């Protein structure tokens, strides 16, 4: 049987996707919309004010039909993420939102990266990756994935050494794009429907496309990876979003 690789966990992550019910939004009176915008602005400001020692937050508009907004949270406490979910639900603007998708996970790094170090030393060395500040890049791509468990292509029945070599080659491709694309891997075994979440940040969506396409030819992906839906968001400031909501009245 395959031998599991130990991991080091960092902050929790919540990818909170929302869809705007435009019919409901336009049915509100101008006064109701104004109050909803004011309370939404205050709520987003509170998310943005999270201490760098406790978490980070990013707001995105999603391209395509799958959602309209992504509220991306990293936080050291899962209870804080639950509170943020419910704060959106309870807000005035929340009455005009539905929730087509969400994903809960925790930042995960393999102990391969910490060979020869105690866990505490590894945490200090890898702290920036375990406690990620969301980079100020224009685009965010998120997708969940599993490692395949089919016949000869069963990731969990391969040896630890084989998996290490496969992921080493996988990492070589990723390193080619490290200046253009920032990656955060989160683990979700037992936390959500898939095994991992992958979040990519870049100023150029084509760089994300090229990275993912090239990795499809790597054995770790070609033989062993199954992918869920892909979501692409564009970073937006809260004031820009509020202006878009105001324009929706016209």
DSSP assignments along 88-117, one per residue: HHHSTGGGGEEEEEEEEEEEEEEGGGGTTS
Q: Do 108 and 196 meet the contact criterion of CB atoms below 8 Å apart?
A: yes
Q: Could you give the C-alpha distances from 222 to 18, 214, 225, 231, in angstroms and in order? A: 32, 10, 7, 21
What whole-number distance in Å separates Cα of residue 25 and Cα of residue 247?
12
Q: Do 103 and 185 meet the contact criterion of CB atoms below 8 Å apart?
A: no
DSSP state of 203: S
Catalytic residue positions, numbered: 143
What whole-number distance in Å separates Cα of residue 198 and Cα of residue 191?
15
Q: Do 50 and 75 meet the contact criterion of CB atoms below 8 Å apart?
A: yes
What whole-number distance in Å separates Cα of residue 214 and Cα of residue 143?
16
State the pairing for strand pair 139-147/196-202: antiparallel
Q: Report the sign of the C-alpha dihedral through residues 90, 94, 95, 100, in that order.
A: negative
């Amino acid at each position: 049987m395959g031998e599991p690789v130990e991991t080091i966990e960092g902050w929790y992550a919540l990818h909170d996707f929302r869809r705007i019910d435009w019919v409901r939004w336009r049915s509100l009176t101008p006064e109701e919309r104004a109050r909803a915008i004011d309370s939404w602005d205050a709520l987003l400001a509170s998310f943005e004010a999270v201490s760098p020692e406790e978490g980070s937050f990013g707001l995105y508009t999603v391209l395509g039909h799958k959602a309209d907004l992504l509220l991306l949270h990293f936080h050291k406490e899962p209870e804080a993420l639950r509170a943020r979910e419910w704060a959106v639900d309870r807000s005035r603007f929340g009455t005009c939102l539905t929730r087509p998708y969400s994903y809960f996970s925790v930042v995960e790094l393999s102990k391969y990266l910490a060979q020869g170090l105690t866990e505490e030393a590894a945490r200090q060395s890898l702290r920036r990756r375990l406690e990620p500040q969301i980079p100020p890049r224009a685009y965010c791509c998120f997708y969940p994935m599993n490692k395949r468990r089919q016949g000869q292509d069963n990731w969990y029945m391969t040896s630890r050494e084989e998996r290490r070599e496969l992921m080493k080659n996988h990492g070589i491709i990723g390193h080619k794009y490290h200046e253009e694309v920032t990656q955060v891997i989160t683990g979700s075994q037992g936390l959500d429907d898939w095994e991992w979440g992958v979040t990519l940040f870049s100023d150029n969506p084509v760089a994300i496309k090229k990275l993912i396409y090239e990795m499809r030819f790597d054995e770790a992906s070609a033989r062993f990876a199954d992918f869920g839906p892909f979501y692409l968001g564009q970073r937006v400031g809260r004031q820009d979003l509020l202006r878009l909501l105001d324009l929706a009245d016209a």
